[in-house]
Chains A and B, each alone.
Chain A
Amino acid sequence: MNNADIGLIGMAGASTLVIIALAISLWQRLGLERDLIVASLRAAVQLLAVGFLLAVLLDEDTPLAFAFGWVVVMLAFAIWTARSRAPEVPGIAPLAGMAFTAATVVALGLLFGLGVYPLNATTLIPLGGMVIGNSISATVLVSRRIIDEFSDKRAEIEARLSLGQSPVEAARPYLRNALRTALIPQIETTKAVGIVFLPGAMVGLILAGVDPIDAVRVQAAVMYMILGSVATTTTVIALGLGRRLFTADQRLVRLD
């Protein structure tokens, strides 16, 4: 049977957990009751709205173009999020736009192109969401790392320029450091998966009654997809930001 089929009574049952949170807030005088109620209601409304939207998008009669449209909406929202989380990074919006688009095209192109998943709204929307979602934090991480590296190693980079290196050559070792720093957490997560924690997609599938071995196969494909798309995103950001930090006449842009 499908364990994920929660009825209204089930929802009401789950909401008692919110009541526990409310009780704790009252008991400890945290003053968070209002925030808790607003957050819980907002989450329910937002999820319901998305649920209705997905129901329309995933309907077999809805053309696939609408699902692609939704991926574009997610991209736009992701760019806006990246910009609000890393406003100190020059040109973050166009860079993030390029990076997210590249990651989405590469990851989904390969998954659908190689026939790992059939191309339909049911696969496109969640996979696109996962690629884009993971790319946001990778982008924020790698771009901040690059800015830090360029501030710390400013004199070294200028010394390289002074020896006649091009901006691309002069930036390379520092971009490499930043890329390594940004990718290592993702690799560590990939290593720990299954032992330390069970990823969301797999938990969802198992709850929905899918055979665990099948769930694992889906999850493995998703993990590889995330690894690939994070690598793509960070590389695009590194190459793009690396260029933006130099002027056309090969000087280092002042960052402070």
Chain B
Amino acid sequence: MVALFSFAGVGLRAGETDILRGVDLDLPDDGITVIVGPSGSGKSTLLRLLNGLERPTSGEIQFRGVSLTDVDIRAHRRSVGMVFQRPTIFDGTALDNLRVADPGIARANAVRALERVGLAAELADRNASDLSGGEAQRLCLARTLVTEPAVILMDEPTSALDVDSVHRIEHLAQTIAEEGVRIVWVSHDRDQVRRLATWLVTVENGRITASGEATAMGHVHDDEGFWSTASEAREAEAGSGEAKPAGGGAE
């Protein structure tokens, strides 16, 4: 199976700092991939590379076998949507927000898009800045869904939300994944990883320390941290046969 995203020798250097180094990685075209790592590890940058908000300074990234340097970036961004850490609400009503994604969207379709993320139809004409944090983040998800993406990137989308909202967004992500939209989710919350991940990637200090099926890596993560046991995780997945070695990171 062609990987959803494939990294070959990817590095990103900003000034004198290596944010990512020697990343060789395949993400499966299936389910929910969670990228996990401590803050400053480069996991958000890894995600932002996927829709061209960052560009690697070395190596190549492919989306379903096509190099990102060969795609039309605007079309690519519409098929690989992004939800940010904090809700990125635009001025105007909820409907106005959806119209940024599709200026010609019919009202009925806009209402359907809101209802898909559990927002009531009457919120369409509400000023988007009056929504609660959780509602605003769901509006952002609805807005992204309007472009009918094949993949949605979620950059710690629940880190600023209350527990109820966290679970709603997680549940929405699972539903959307079941409908066939691939999800790549960045998190630093161990419990969230356990709830969501079908594939798990761990990032430390700009390198991939492990990548494999979440179930295969699960027993390692249950009692220890992800990061202290990254090498064990690598050993565990090497034994499982199913999982893919992270590779490349070791220099």
Chain A residues proximal to chain B, CB less than 8 Å? 155-156, 158-166, 173, 247, 249-252, 254
B53 in contact with A158 (CB, 8 Å): yes
Contact with A along B92-104 (1 / 0, CB 8 A): 0000000011000
**Chain B contacts for A155, CB-based, 8 A:** 84-86, 88
B100 in contact with A160 (CB, 8 Å): yes
Closest to B54 in A: A251
CB distance from B184 to the nearest CB of A (A): 13
**Chain B contacts for A160, CB-based, 8 A:** 90, 100
B53 in contact with A162 (CB, 8 Å): yes
B77 part of interface (Cβ distance < 8 Å): yes
**Beyond A158-B82, A165-B74, 15 additional pairs, beta carbon < 8 A:** A155-B84, A156-B88, A156-B90, A159-B82, A159-B90, A159-B140, A160-B90, A161-B53, A162-B53, A163-B100, A165-B100, A166-B74, A247-B55, A249-B55, A252-B53
Query: A156, A162, A165, A250: which has the most chain B beta carbons within 10 Å?
Result: A162
Query: A155, A161, A163, A254: which has the most chain B beta carbons within 10 Å?
Result: A163
CB distance from B103 to the nearest CB of A (A): 10
A72 to B149 alpha-carbon distance, docked (Å): 53
**Chain B contacts for A247, CB-based, 8 A:** 55
Count of chain B residues near A, Cβ 8 A:
26
A251 to B68 alpha-carbon distance, docked (Å): 14
Within 8 A of A (CB), among B1-20: 14
**Chain A contacts for B163, CB-based, 8 A:** none
20 A-B pairs, CB-CB below 8 angstroms? A155-B84, A155-B85, A156-B89, A158-B82, A158-B84, A159-B84, A161-B77, A162-B77, A162-B81, A162-B82, A163-B81, A163-B100, A163-B144, A164-B147, A165-B74, A165-B100, A173-B90, A250-B73, A251-B53, A254-B14
If the complex has contacts A156-B90, A249-B52, A251-B55, are A164 and B75 also in contact, measured as CB distance less than 8 A? Answer: yes
A174 to B143 alpha-carbon distance, docked (Å): 20
Closest to A252 in B: B53
CB distance from A218 to the nearest CB of B (A): 42
CB distance from A249 to the nearest CB of B (A): 6
A251 to B51 alpha-carbon distance, docked (Å): 10
Closest to A247 in B: B55
Closest to B84 in A: A155
B91 part of interface (Cβ distance < 8 Å): yes
B143 in contact with A163 (CB, 8 Å): yes
CB distance from B40 to the nearest CB of A (A): 15
A251 to B74 alpha-carbon distance, docked (Å): 11
Q: Which 4 pairs between the two chains have the least Cβ-Cβ distance?
A: A159-B88, A164-B78, A162-B82, A164-B74
Query: B75, B81, B100: which has the most chain A beta carbons within 10 Å?
Result: B100
**Chain A contacts for B84, CB-based, 8 A:** 155, 158-159
**Chain A contacts for B143, CB-based, 8 A:** 163
A96 to B187 alpha-carbon distance, docked (Å): 44
CB distance from B12 to the nearest CB of A (A): 12
Closest to A250 in B: B73
A163 in contact with B147 (CB, 8 Å): yes
Closest to B69 in A: A249
CB distance from A167 to the nearest CB of B (A): 10
